[in-house]
């Protein structure tokens, strides 16, 4: 049975926001195998929420991770099944652990109620369930859950910001520093090669001086796009400094990495970069230093140092080239 709430208001609708604020219009799963009770509880919640009823605990466990419920009400007294076990599974599954779980209990369930609260079940209701109390307790859980969802979203967003370069959208140096060591350890453990490219635009200062700083920014963004286009998903591309990128290439030998670097160098040189919103183009070239993991390397810092030395030689030898 599915009882629909009043109206399905669109996102951004002030009325929808108002109902969200008051902890209403939530998605609720009621796991109850007594049909009369299930109907009565669903009817009490239906004016405010979207309610699904599921009498079978096995089905409930399959359904819950797919449907993203806000609140799951679980009867502790299902025929031949301990509802507490379902509560515990819902609390531990990745896809359901953010839902609020409430137990429907009877007077002699005191022990299981305490165990339930102990494993993180949010609240409980005693039978016979009072309609007003049901509505109030569900609303308070919806409010708490929405607050927790918002908090989690904003924490995730600021974590993403902390490791992203705002101009290019690439990973920043902080991310590279944090991940290079683990990529290094991973390669050593699997006895696989690991290579690193340091890319630095040639005479970039001149581009800034000639076309302006904004045009320089446009060139940097396009530089990042092209490098990403010519690397794989598992390669880590990071903005290391001003006009300097680092690419970490797992599983690539020195020869393989040199070939990747040469392809990137060629893709930068062959197609002039659009600046001033596409009204003119600028020729750009890049120099690239390449180094690969060697038994003698003490750590990622050595690898970076060798790639940087190779880059220095590429500049010395006339720029627009790859040195490995
Ligand atoms: P080389 O071939 O030796 O690398 O010469 P270069 O001019 O590229 O090297 P240099 O390191 O002297 O200049 C790098 C310039 O990059 C200087 C700095 O103003 C510019 N730069 C650094 N970050 C940014 C940025 O975010 N935007 C723009 N537009 N320019 C930047
Ligand atoms: Mg420089
Ligand atoms: Mg440069
Ligand atoms: Mg530089």
What would the pLDDT profile of 52-99 be if each residue is shown by its tens digit? Answer: 999 999 999 999 999 999 999 999 999 999 999 999 999 999 999 999
Whether 7 shows a pLDDT value over 60: the answer reads: no
Ligand 1 atom nearest 217 alpha carbon: 29
Q: Residue 39: helix, strand or coil by DSSP?
A: helix
Whether 254 shows a pLDDT value over 90: the answer reads: yes
Bridge partners of 169, per DSSP, are none
Substitution candidate for ligand 1 out of 211, 242, 315 with most atoms within 8 A of CB? 242
Lowest average pLDDT, out of 24-28, 181-185, 216-220, goes to 181-185
Alpha helices per DSSP H over 271-299: none
Ligand 1 atom nearest 207 alpha carbon: 7
Lowest average pLDDT, out of 89-103, 105-119, 120-134, 288-302, goes to 288-302
Whether 144 shows a pLDDT value over 60: the answer reads: yes
* pLDDT-based confidence at residue 10 (cuts at 50, 70, 90): very low
**C-alpha 206 – ligand 2 centre gap (Å):** 11
Output the pLDDT for position 15. Answer: 53
* CA end-to-end distance (rounded Å), the chain: 67
Output the pLDDT for position 217. Answer: 97
Mean pLDDT value across residues 144-167: 94
Ligand 1 atom nearest 214 alpha carbon: 29
Output the pLDDT for position 136. Answer: 96
**Is this structure's pTM higher than 0.80?**
no
Does ligand 1 have an atom closer than 6 angstroms to the CB of 167? yes
Does ligand 1 have an atom closer than 6 angstroms to the CB of 99? no
Output DSSP code: residue 171.
Answer: B
* d(C-alpha 307, C-alpha 257), whole Å: 11
Mean pLDDT value across residues 13-20: 54
Mean pLDDT value across residues 169-176: 96
**C-alpha 301 – ligand 4 centre gap (Å):** 18
At 196-249, the pLDDT tens digits run 999 999 999 999 999 999 999 999 999 999 999 999 999 999 999 999 999 999
**313 alpha-carbon distance from chain centroid:** 39
* pLDDT-based confidence at residue 18 (cuts at 50, 70, 90): low
Mean pLDDT value across residues 35-45: 97
* pLDDT-based confidence at residue 16 (cuts at 50, 70, 90): low
Nearest CA to ligand 1 atom 13: 205
**C-alpha 200 – ligand 2 centre gap (Å):** 7
> Helix, strand, coil: what percent of the chain each, to 5?
50, 20, 30
Does ligand 1 have an atom closer than 6 angstroms to the CB of 218? no
Nearest CA to ligand 1 atom 26: 242
Q: How would you classify the pairing of strands 2-3 and 244-250?
A: unpaired
* pLDDT-based confidence at residue 188 (cuts at 50, 70, 90): confident
Q: Return the ligand number nearest the Cα of 202.
A: 1
Mean pLDDT value across residues 2-20: 49
Burial-class residue 254 by CB neighbours within 10 Å (0-12, 13-18, 19+).
Answer: middle
Whose CA is closest to 263, among 231, 224, 311? 231
At 262-283, the pLDDT tens digits run 999 999 999 999 999 899 999 9
The number of C-alpha atoms within 13 Å of 308 and in the hemisphere containing its C-beta is 9
Does ligand 1 have an atom closer than 6 angstroms to the CB of 285? no
* d(C-alpha 63, C-alpha 54), whole Å: 9
Whether 13 shows a pLDDT value over 80: the answer reads: no
Question: Which residues form the catalytic set?
Answer: 243
Does ligand 1 have an atom closer than 6 angstroms to the CB of 221? no
Whole-number Cα distances in Å, 10 to 2, 27, 70, 272: 20, 15, 18, 45
Q: What is the mean pLDDT of the chain?
A: 92
Does ligand 1 have an atom closer than 6 angstroms to the CB of 243? yes
Q: Which helix (H) or strand (E) holds 241?
A: strand 236-241
Q: At 80, give phi and psi (nearest 5°).
A: 70, 15
Output the pLDDT for position 274. Answer: 96
Whole-number Cα distances in Å, 199 to 233, 308, 319, 322: 18, 9, 11, 9
238 neighbors 245 (Cβ within 8 angstroms): yes
Burial-class residue 4 by CB neighbours within 10 Å (0-12, 13-18, 19+).
Answer: exposed
Mean pLDDT value across residues 100-111: 97
Output the pLDDT for position 160. Answer: 92
Ligand 1 atom nearest 202 alpha carbon: 2
């Amino acid at each position: 049975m599915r009882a629909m709430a009043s109206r399905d208001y669109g996102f951004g609708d002030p009325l929808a926001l108002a109902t969200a604020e008051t902890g209403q219009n939530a998605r609720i799963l009621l796991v109850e195998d007594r049909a009369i009770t299930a109907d009565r509880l669903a009817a009490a919640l239906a004016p405010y929420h979207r309610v699904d009823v599921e009498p079978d605990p096995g089905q409930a466990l399959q359904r819950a991770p797919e449907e993203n419920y806000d609140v799951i009400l679980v009867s502790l007294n299902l025929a031949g099944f301990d509802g507490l076990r379902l509560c515990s599974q819902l609390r531990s599954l990745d896809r359901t652990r953010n839902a609020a779980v409430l137990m429907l209990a009877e007077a002699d369930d005191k022990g299981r109620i305490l165990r339930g609260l102990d494993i993180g079940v949010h609240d409980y209701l005693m039978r016979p369930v009072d309609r007003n109390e049901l509505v109030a307790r569900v609303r308070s859980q919806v409010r708490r859950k929405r607050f927790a969802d918002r908090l989690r979203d904003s924490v995730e967003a600021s974590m993403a910001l902390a490791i992203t370069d705002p101009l290019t959208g690439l990973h920043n140096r902080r991310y590279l520093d944090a991940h290079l060591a683990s990529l290094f350890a991973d390669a050593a453990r699997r006895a696989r090669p690991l290579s690193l490219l340091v890319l630095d635009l040639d005479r970039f200062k001149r581009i800034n001086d000639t076309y302006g700083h904004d045009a320089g920014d446009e060139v940097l963004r396009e530089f990042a796009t092209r490098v990403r286009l010519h690397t794989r998903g598992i390669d880590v591309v990071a903005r290391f400094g001003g006009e300097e990128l680092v690419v970490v290439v797992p599983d690539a030998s020195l020869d393989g990495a040199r070939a990747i670097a040469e392809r990137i160098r060629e893709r930068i040189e062959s197609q002039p970069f659009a600046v001033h919103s596409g009204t003119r183009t600028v020729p750009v070239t890049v120099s690239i230093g390449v180094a690969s993991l060697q038994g003698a390397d003490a750590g990622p810092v050595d690898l970076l140092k060798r790639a940087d030395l190779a880059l220095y030689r590429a500049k010395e030898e006339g720029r627009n080239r790859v040195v490995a």
